Amino acid sequence: MTDCIFCKIVRGDIPANKVYEDDEVLAFKDIRPAAPVHILLIPKRHIESMLNTSREDEALLGKMLALTPVIAREHGLGAGYKTAINTGLAGGQEVFHLHLHILGTPQP
Ligand code: AMP
Ligand code: ZN
């Protein structure tokens, strides 16, 4: 998917404020934050949306969910945070590379 903006971020073709990376997933700050902390967590492999996943993606999806408290705590969200995965046009998805939003306000 050469014209996918998140694939471009994965390849390093366009910059992003990265906060976590391993061989399978990447997390970076949302360019238009809807909360004081707004991070997007994506698989490096191009998957359009949750509608394009299957049971074979259980490990990857489980890993992404299990990473959310790790990333959240690192950004001051140890007291709590929201997650969202907008799925499909009818689900409000704008960028068609699967991504999990992590949103919150750091607590003192
Ligand atoms: P969604 O509606 O779930 O598809 O959300 C897409 C999100 O991607 C929005 O919150 C955008 O602000 C964010 N976004 C789009 N382009 C970039 C980019 N180049 N870097 C970081 N975040 C982006
Ligand atoms: Zn992509």
Note the pLDDT tens digit of each residue in 59-79: 999 999 999 999 999 999 999
Q: Note the CATH number of domain 5-81.
A: 3.30.428.10
Ligand 1 near 95 CB (within 6 A)? yes
To the question of pTM greater than 0.75 for the whole model, the response is: yes
Distance (angstroms) between ligand 2 centre and the Cα of 5 equals 6
Which candidate in 38, 75, 97, 99 is catalytic?
Answer: 99
Q: What are phi and psi of 63, to 5 degrees?
A: -60, -45
Which residues place a Cβ less than 5 A from the ion ligand 2?
1, 4, 6-7, 46, 97
Torsion sign over Cα 69, 75, 80, 83: negative
Confidence of residue 1 (pLDDT cuts 50, 70, 90): low
Class of residue 102 by CB neighbours under 10 A (exposed 0-12, middle 13-18, buried 19+): buried
Confidence of residue 108 (pLDDT cuts 50, 70, 90): confident
